[in-house]
A and B are shown apart, each in its own frame.
Chain A
């Protein structure tokens, strides 16, 4: 079968599933009522709001507020109906499982992807249709009452943003639903979607009022990436094996501990064989993640240097005539050359990596990577400014960064790769293993890397940073 034919068949299969679900939704007044209200009543209310606001602000000579309010309301009118898609998705996936009507469906020849895609479509069709219709009603009202129409680019942006947001919410809901066996549990876990989306809407609102509509394209790109990751994760989780293997939402701590312990020890019989295992098995398994992270950190440096060109530090703020004296004062205030300083640097670095791990575990590793990029972007920014001022960049980096970076950067790379692997487990659990087992194994791997390599490296790096780097800086950098 050709790829095109296979795709056509897959879409047909998906549409069989989606068609039934959509018809089922159209029989449920609990879904129809809010969608209807949000499609017709809410846009009209927003129309009234826009007109009232226009009248009010024009009276006080502040038309810019109204100019910004109307597009903002356009976005809100689109968003409200798609919020229903989250509920539909939870009902479609977790609800069907709870009502035990999923198994007959799984017994059909439809592929996991067809079932997943069908249910995704079913969750999206009605809310998106309602959102588009709502936008249409709102715009028609504005056109007739205020003779206002949005710039075409803004309209496209709002349509695309609305669609992508719906996809992200539904894809997130699928991931959540696949991890639970009841709608109640899925609803509780839905806050993991609702809270970030609420934050996103606040951010989008600020952008809309700021009038920087082009920034919305970046948000769309970001959301598309998140959506792709969530869809990938959903495809991995929404499969017969995973769905039918999970009957209860019981937290089995004893099993979790056993699984973690087994993966952490990895058959080691002594500390030496454990260490050998970390070096010979765990680190090679991180290869791809190490490569990705290495690339990302380089991008961080380049981005930092680029930012230095765009937003340079004013030259009067940088004084290079007596760097040594300035640094000497700073070193003392930071407790350099002391054990207290070593402890501060060491714990600070460990805290940063733990924070990155915590964030990465729930964001497919994305926030961890961003957090790890930040220090290197700062170094890049610093180097970019030095270069712009004609200062010897190499000398400064060698004196202030390089000695401890030789250990700190590998530590960050290893920790980041382990976090990335931990985060990516949700997207792609190991074949034949449940998500829980895969995640606990990845957590054990992260612990092995942290305990066996990263923490010792950070301890040594902190010692160099506190006792050696300042001495080198004072020796090499200019000053009286």
Chain B
């Protein structure tokens, strides 16, 4: 649904985005992660046909972002970084305006407005002026604006920012529902747990270049290596690491614990447990050490070399 090949954008000599290649399929959520100024917004703007790429090409819903810009805009729902609402307008008038800007007939606008306002618990505030809305309500209304024309592609910049946990949960559920409707979603976010929960794949961008794309587990394996297991013992033991069978790599130890890395926990863990039992050591727990997306992200954005998957 979204296909970008070698996409680049420079502003008066400054390379904001450099040879980004990315695809997002129908029914897929891809999270675009990266530090501020990495080129996320510029990439999204190019995919939304707001900025013309300096190099490369991209198609959205089958339309070229340069040659068929109006067609692309008709098929993209864009949630911008700033909600940018007209605060003197009422919610219904606001959505009516955007619906007409997208060329929708009035009955359709009314029907969809009512549906999405209900979905996001905004129906009771439909008659209020937007200046009276809370930050979270404004964000939800901006999301309704992006969904009003029923786009097959959604580009969402920080969709749950400024929302309370309940509202954020509601939005996440809606994103999952949108995915199940076979829409393609590209989400820019700094919320890593949200990215891990929602996204089928994660793309990390740094200094305009896409440095990694893959599922969360693929990224973890690439950046953090094989899973690390932690074994906790009931008593203090010296030299427990020496009891580990071959094929596992000790990576650390303490008086009552030791850690090892293994590419094959299904085989290695029973062997470790039986080795401990043979040595008369009581095992309290054996569990994989948690590998966080944050660790991946920090490594990725701080890593000097490009990592391909």
Contacts and interface: CB of A to CB of B under 8 A. Distances in A.
Given A103-B78, A103-B80, A110-B101, 13 more contacts: A100-B82, A100-B84, A101-B86, A104-B142, A105-B101, A107-B76, A108-B98, A109-B103, A241-B51, A244-B50, A245-B11, A259-B12, A432-B52
B135 to A, nearest CB: 14
Contacts of A432: 52
A381 B81 CA distance: 64
A99 interface: yes
B21 to A, nearest CB: 22
Nearest to A105: B101
B140 interface: no
Interface string B38-60: 00000001001111100000000
A103 B73 contact: no
A106 interface: yes
B59 to A, nearest CB: 17
A102 interface: yes
B117 interface: no
Contacts of A437: 12
B281 to A, nearest CB: 62
B159 to A, nearest CB: 14
B105 interface: no
A172 to B, nearest CB: 25
Interface in A409-434: 432, 434
B145 A104 contact: yes
Interface string A400-413: 00000000000000
B50 A106 contact: yes
A258 B82 CA distance: 33
B13 interface: yes
Interface string B58-96: 000000000000110110101010101110110001000
A434 B12 contact: yes
Nearest to A99: B84
Contacts, number: 74
19 contacts: A17-B101, A23-B93, A28-B88, A100-B84, A101-B84, A101-B86, A104-B98, A107-B48, A107-B73, A109-B71, A109-B101, A110-B101, A240-B49, A241-B52, A244-B45, A245-B11, A255-B13, A432-B52, A434-B11
Contacts of A107: 48, 50, 73, 76, 78, 80
A258 to B, nearest CB: 7
Interface in A15-34: 16-17, 20, 23-24, 27-28
Interface string A1-45: 000000000000100110010011001100000000000000000
Contacts of B52: 241, 432
A436 interface: yes
Given A20-B97, A104-B78, A244-B50, A109 B12 contact: no
Interface residues of A, number: 32
A439 to B, nearest CB: 12
A100 B82 CA distance: 7
Interface string A204-245: 000000000000000000000000000000000000110011
B221 interface: no
Contacts of B85: 101
Contacts of A255: 12-13
Given A24-B86, A104-B98, A255-B13, A109 B50 contact: no
B79 to A, nearest CB: 9
Report the interface size class on chain B: 20 to 34
Contacts of B71: 109
A123 B86 CA distance: 17
B100 interface: yes
Contacts of A27: 88
A244 to B, nearest CB: 6
A111 interface: yes
Interface pairs A-B: 3 shortest CB-CB = A101-B84, A100-B82, A108-B101
A103 B86 CA distance: 12
Given A108-B102, A258-B13, A20 B86 contact: yes
Contacts of B84: 99-104
A259 B11 CA distance: 12
Interface in A307-354: none
B101 A16 contact: yes
Interface string A107-119: 1111100000000
Contacts of B51: 240-241, 244-245
A13 B52 CA distance: 22
A45 B37 CA distance: 57
Nearest to A118: B101
Nearest to A9: B103
A107 B98 CA distance: 10
Nearest to B84: A101
B13 A16 contact: no
Contacts of A106: 50
B185 to A, nearest CB: 16
B100 A16 contact: yes
Nearest to B70: A109
A436 B12 contact: yes
Contact of A240 (B11, B50, B82): B50
B100 to A, nearest CB: 5
Contacts of B142: 104
Contacts of A99: 84
